[in-house]
Amino acid sequence: MGQADVALRMGSVVAVRGPVIDIRFAAGALPPVNEAIRIRAGAAPLIAEVQSHVNEETVRAVALQATNGLARGIAAEATAGPIAVPVGDAVLGRLLTATGEVGDGGGALPADVPCRPIHRAPPPLEAQSAATRMFETGIKVIDLLSPLAQGGKAAMFGGAGVGKTVLVMELIRAMVARYEGVSVFAGIGERSREGHELLTDMRGSGVIDKTVLVFGQMNEPPGARWRVGMTALTIAEHFRDEQKRNVLLLMDNVFRFVQAGSEVSGLLGRLPSRVGYQPTLASEVAALQERTASVEGASVTAIEAVYVPADDFTDPAVTAISAHLDSNVLLSRAMAAEGMYPAVDPLGSSSILLDPLVVGEEHYALAQKVRETIAHNRELQDIISLLGLEELGQEDRLIVSRARRLQRFLTQPFVVTEAFTGQPGRSVSLGATLAGVRAILAGETDDWPESALYMVGDIEEARVKAGVAA
């Protein structure tokens, strides 16, 4: 590259407004949108990404690291490409930042590690493969009512404090242990404590060697939180496309990706859209979700946690995310208040896999019967509250009794909560879940105390707890 080309790529900072930086380049040499810019500030260069062209000489970029101490006149260099992050076997067992830097305090990555740009088009539609195989999790309520698809996208939706992260952590523990492939975890806007706990737990359980952790934490600028999902996706795509390995992609929390995009949009001076969100909400969510795709011979299975602001499931961010998913697992505050953990709403949760052609006639029929029984019980709650259970007919009383037993049977102790509950975690096979549900619906447990079915594994454990001979 000639000296003239290098000179054209050089610019200088002309304005700094928090994480938003204006950089002036020579006329006609403006770097395109999404190109990375390296700013020579301090010992380590600061990475920013072009978001718009202000005029013929100036670009507006968003920094992915803190801009403390950045002054006007500092030199900036266009890199002639998007942000590139390390990929491949060298990053397994490591914790990376949104820009691909090592964040676990360990040694540097090898000098010859391959790097890939974080902005890529999704695989063409004809190259994508449909997800039709069930991904068994060992969590009764999910496997029964909202089965996850191998190579599909699933999300846990819930407000603050209803158990999204605990459920995702249990899925990580259950699935990474039995999963033949690579796991990539994206911590979007995570608390520092959560990131440290996850790294420690994975090292302790021995699954870190086939896992990559990518974090853009709460204390980092919005640019880092906005792009960390793209970094994780780029690493997952490399394993899928280059090595033909199945990938489990876990994201916590996708709402914070939207939130970071909203902050960036406001800082860039764009007019807000519905409920104050960025006008580019739908396209930003699509850019992240549409790349999570499976191709012939290798799948990317995505499991995401999504915070629901003020428990409003009609929030634009929530509806934009849910439109891209195969399985929606809704967490209910009312169920959490009753101690029904995991607090999965059996009526609000859904999956495209819950079809007799995919899961079989028996599983589909049992799931529909469970939903019907619990729905009938909810309809009767007002009458029970006003008049009491005794005023119901015999058939209705039987339905209420079985619905209460079903709800208790679908609770389950988790391995990740053993330290808090003192109860060993349970993983239940789909066959055992179906057998338990079948027994409750058939009336085998009508004489058992409800407490015998609460926080147990399979129906045999509940039978022992109830003191009933087999």
Residues belonging to the active site: 164, 190-191
d(CA 184, CA 355): 29
Peptide bond into 342 cis (omega under 30): yes
What is each CA distance from 210 to 115, 168, 292, in whole angstroms? 19, 18, 19
Least Cα distance to 232 among 367, 87, 428 occurs for: 87
Give per-residue burial for 287-298: e unless 16+ CB within 10 Å, then b.
bbbebbbbbeeb
What is each CA distance from 330 to 285, 326, 357, in whole angstroms? 19, 13, 24
Beta-carbon neighbour count of residue 207 at 10 Å? 18
Give the largest Cα separation in the chain, rounded: 90
Give the phi and the psi of residue 312 in degrees, each rounded to 5.
-100, 100
d(CA 106, CA 108): 7
| Cα Rg of the chain, angstroms | 25
- The two three-digit tokens of residue 314, written as one number: 């009609």
Determine contact, residues 202/213, Cβ cutoff 8 Å. yes
Provide the β-strand partners of residue 85.
116
Provide the β-strand partners of residue 47.
38
Which string of DSSP letters, residue by residue, matches 60-105?
Answer: EEEESS--TT--TT-EEEE-SSS-EEE-SGGGTT-EE-TTS-B-SS
> What are the residue ranges of helices labelled H in 388-427?
394-409, 418-421
- Which element (helix H / strand E) includes 13? strand 10-17
Give the phi and the psi of residue 156 in degrees, each rounded to 5.
-100, 115
Give the phi and the psi of residue 459 in degrees, each rounded to 5.
-70, -25
d(CA 234, CA 116): 7
Least Cα distance to 291 among 367, 236, 219 occurs for: 236
**Count, residues in the chain:** 470
d(CA 255, CA 309): 9
